[in-house]
Structure 1
Amino acid sequence: MFNFRNPDAHTDISSMEVEQHPPGYPRYSALISANDHFFIARRFAKIRARILLLKQDKLSMLEERIQTIDRDERCPLFLGKSRCDRNTERIDTLVEMEERLADYDQFMEQTHRVLSFSPAQPRDIRSLQNWLKGNVALARDESEYLNYGNDLLSLASTKDDAMTKLEAWVEDRLSFEQRASRNLSSDPNVFVSTASPVGKVAKGVVLGIATLLILLPIVICNCTTSLTARMSVVMMFVMIYLAILLHMTRSRTVEILVAGAT
């Protein structure tokens, strides 16, 4: 039986198995920290939208107020020379506008940054949900966030979206990973890898697909003398190539057009 309170002083804490941590948040946090893709959180998009609308409306009200103050100004000199302005209502309103505008800009930048995170992968969400079903770690209310699928984001960096999807495909279909990696969990129903060859296999698959897309049409065209057949082969492989780009990457329209032209 594991001693949760006093682990071995010589044990590397970072390499401890998940079950060696105390149950509850410590164990669930250990599971999440074992895989970057488990760092899943909510965007709170509806709340952000509502707060943004309220901040925007308050600025609109201040905008109307300053326009009214300027329109009702009895001393035109104050409107043309701010150093001489003695209208305290206008001065106070401008100060409040500056403060609220700075807060509004900051909130917009934060929201933009949150919205730029990639959506959480359904497979990672299911993994956490399945683990929580088999391990009573959190109260049901506190693990409810995983049910907000469309509102969940992943904090893990995805430098190559296509490679991420391909690695997930390889991991789901190949069974050698558990033999090639050390498990960070003592539960036979849980597998958390420390190192995995999935990335290398995925790169090998990409290399193979790229080689086929480049060389196969050349081979086929050399085997036929029909110009129509050659043109059909070239068009078919170009369409396959563009379809892969559209499905696997986040390429912009211009990038797709350039790729098709080259």
Structure 2
Amino acid sequence: METIASCMPLCGDLESGAVEEAQTRKIEDYRPGYPRYTALLAAHTPYILCRRFSKLRARLLLLKQDRLSVLEERLEEIDQAERSPLFLGKSRCDKNLERISLLSKIESQLADYGTNQFASSTYQMLSLNPAEQRDVESLQNWLDGNGCLAKEESAYLAHCGELVSLAPTRDSAILQLENWVETRLIRLWRNFRKSRFHNMSNDPNVYIHSGQLIQRIAKALLLLLITILLLMPVVVCSIINTTSVRIAIVMVSTISYLLVLSSLTKSRTMELILAGAT
């Protein structure tokens, strides 16, 4: 029985850490359920996705902020009602037990609200790279075909907008080209998934690429594209003698180069400015 007959195949690079185990066990060798699903995730680390829970984090952040605001207002009231100016100017002599207790509570609340715990963890979670739509669709296809995980517990994949990847960051330009090359090879080369490549699954609809063919083709295409964008204007300008046309060619080629650069990479504004100036 085919597992994902009408869905897109799973695609990706086999991680080096799973190569040794992949040579002895297939994904289907694990029992249905979390054992089999986690074996799939371990085979390709970009499949290890999780939710940011941005809405819940924002809610808790607002609550913690409001609690501190209330404590801050209470501290100001205590200071305004203080009858001994010495207590306000010399903390060592402060005998106001209510203020001392309140400051202790504020300190604990700030430790939870500030960089020690909640704020830093929220910052780290929001800094993670968004999950690739390709990886999310692959996991959804696999789950729809196997049905070995409860729908309620696999529903996290439906929150595409807040899914993040825990895998190490890769060059976005190379990654996009690899995905493009892989898709074309799968569609145009019928035996691409059967010959010359190791597959971790017995399911003919599940494919995890482990070779270097895709990486080499993607790098070659990237180098070819960069060479064309950089050298083609030089060749054209050497043929044309009109100054105004040369200026127009330089402008068009620079704009084209920056557009391609911004679409393939996550370039910052200053990096684009430096690239255009160069």
- Report the TM-score, using the length of structure 2 for normalisation: 0.86
Q: Which moved more, 1:198-207 or 1:181-190?
A: 198-207
Matched, 1:213 2:224: no
Q: Secondary structure at the match of 1:41?
A: strand
Q: Name the SS of the counterpart of 1:174 in structure 2.
A: helix
**TM-fit CA distance, 1:52:** 0.6
**Residue pairs, 1:26-45, within 5 angstroms:** 26-45=35-54
* Equivalence for 1:235: 251
Task: Name the counterpart of 2:9.
Answer: none
Q: Is the 8 A contact 1:180 1:197 kept in 2?
A: no
Distance 2:238 2:179 in 1: 36
- More off after superposition, 156-165 vs 47-56: 156-165
Report sequence identity in percent: 48
Report the AA paired with residue 74 of structure 2. R
1:203 aligns with 2:219: yes
- In structure 2, relative to structure 1, the CA distance for the partners of 1:195 and 1:103 (3 Å cut) is farther
- In the alignment, the residues of structure 2 paired with residue 69 and residue 159 of structure 1 have an alpha-carbon distance, to the nearest angstrom, of 54
* CA apart distance, 1:14: 4.8
> Which amino acid counterpart does residue 138 of structure 1 have in structure 2?
L
1:18, distance to aligned residue in structure 2 (A): 0.5
1:167 has 2:158 as partner: no
Q: 2:157 aligns with which of 146, 150, 163?
A: 146
Instruction: Spell out, residue by residue over 1:193-216, the C-alpha distance to the aligned partner (whole angstroms, 9 max, x if none).
Output: 234422222111111111111221
1:256 equivalent in structure 2: 272
Q: Which residue of 2 aligns with 1:119?
A: 130
Stretches of structure 1 lacking an aligned partner (at least 5 in a row): 1-11
Could you list the per-position Cα deviations for residues 153-186 of structure 1 after superposition, in whole angstroms to 9, with x for gaps in the alignment? Answer: 1111223222222221221112365334200000
The answer for the alignment partner of 2:139 in structure 1 is: 128
- Which residue matches 2:11? none
Which of structure 1's runs of 4+ aligned residues deviate more than 4 A?
none
- Residues 158 and 164 of structure 1 are in contact (CA less than 8 Å); yes or no, is this contact kept in structure 2? no
Residue of structure 2 equivalent to 1:8: none
| TM-score (ref. length: structure 1) | 0.91
- The one-letter amino acid paired with 2:177 is L
Match of 1:104 in 2: 113
The offset of 1:120, in angstroms, is 0.7
Structure 2 counterpart of 1:155, one-letter code: L
Contact 1:161 1:249 in 2 (8 A): yes
Q: Distance in 2 between matches of 1:196 and 1:66?
A: 64
1: CA distance, partners of 2:261 / 2:21:
42
8 Å Cα contact 1:213/1:237 also seen in 2: yes
Listed one character per residue, the Cα deviations across residues 55-87 of structure 1 (whole Å, up to 9, x for unaligned) are 111111111111111111111111111111111
Query: Following the alignment from structure 1 to structure 2, what is the Cα–Cα distance between the partners of residues 187 and 119?
Result: 28
Q: Which moved more, 1:80-89 or 1:155-164?
A: 155-164
Deviations along 1:14-54, one digit per CA (max 9) or x if unpaired, are: 54210011110000000011111101111111001101110
- Kindly provide the CA deviation profile for residues 69-124 of structure 1, in whole angstroms up to 9, marking residues without a partner as x: 11111111111111111111111111111111011112111101000111111111
Residue equivalent to 2:77: 68
Contact 2:22 2:200 in 1 (8 A): no
The residue matched to 1:120 in structure 2 has which SS? coil
- Number of the residue aligned with 2:239: 223
How many Å apart are 1:233 and its aligned residue?
A: 1.4
Instruction: Pick one of 19, 43, 48 that aligns with 2:28.
Output: 19
Q: Which residue of 2 aligns with 1:95?
A: 104
Measured in 2, the distance between the counterparts of 1:13 and 1:232 equals: 57
Aligned length: 251
Q: Unaligned stretches of 5+ in structure 2?
A: 1-19
**Which structure has more RCO (C-alpha within 8 Å, separation ≥ 6)?**
2
Letter in 2 for 1:243: L
Amino acid aligned to 2:34? Y
